Amino acid sequence: MNKKQRHVKIKEMIKGGRIGTQEEIKERLEAIGIYVTQATLSRDLREIGLMKLRADDGKLYYSLTEGDSSQFSENVSEYIMKVSRAEFMLVLTTRLGEADVLANVIDGENREDILGTVAGADTLLVICQNAIVAKELEREIQSEI
């Protein structure tokens, strides 16, 4: 099975019900005869654009991201606890382990006004095109958190 076919199967699983871990995805793939390494699966999930959302009971689960740019502020509000700005950069504070998920969401937007992101465990640096963009983005995020 090639990568494209594997991606389709993973998307079907995610759409079919809440899956909380990569190990659970790996087990479900193996149950249908698809064997991948952990590194390959991690890369697949990143390429597909999966992100983790928090359910009402507090448990995390995988979800497909939407390509719609209006989703940006809705998606980030799920993760951001605090936002600070320094000239053309934003520093976003998240819960432990969620900064990289948020980086994937932002990077997946492919916005020309955001040059890139750098994620730690609970802190994300967003490098904007200029200070004006950073200020507008800060305002947008503040209104959602």
Q: Specify the residue for token string 């020309």.
A: 112
> How far is residue 68 CA from its own chain's centroid?
14
The structure's pTM equals 0.57
When pLDDT is averaged across residues 63-74 and rounded to a whole number, the result is 55
128 three-class SS: strand
Instruction: Give the residue extent of every domain in the chain.
Output: 3-64, 71-144
What DSSP assignment string belongs to 27-85?
HHHHHTT----HHHHHHHHHHHTEEEEE-TTS-EEEEEPP--TTHHHHHHHTTEEEEEE
Q: Specify the residue for token string 């520093």.
A: 91
Model pLDDT for residues 5-38, shown as the tens digit of each residue: 999 999 999 988 899 999 999 999 999 999 999 9
Q: Which fold has domain 71-144?
A: Gyrase A; domain 2 (3.30.1360)
> 131 versus 70: which is more confidently predicted?
131
Confidence check: pLDDT of 44 > 60: yes
How deeply is 119 buried, as exposed, middle or buried, from its count of CB atoms within 10 A (0-12, 13-18, 19+)? Answer: buried
Q: Quick one: pLDDT at residue 73?
A: 55
136 three-class SS: helix
Q: What phi-psi label fits residue 80: left (phi over 0), alpha (psi between -120 and 50 degrees) or beta?
A: beta
CATH code of the region 3-64: 1.10.10.10
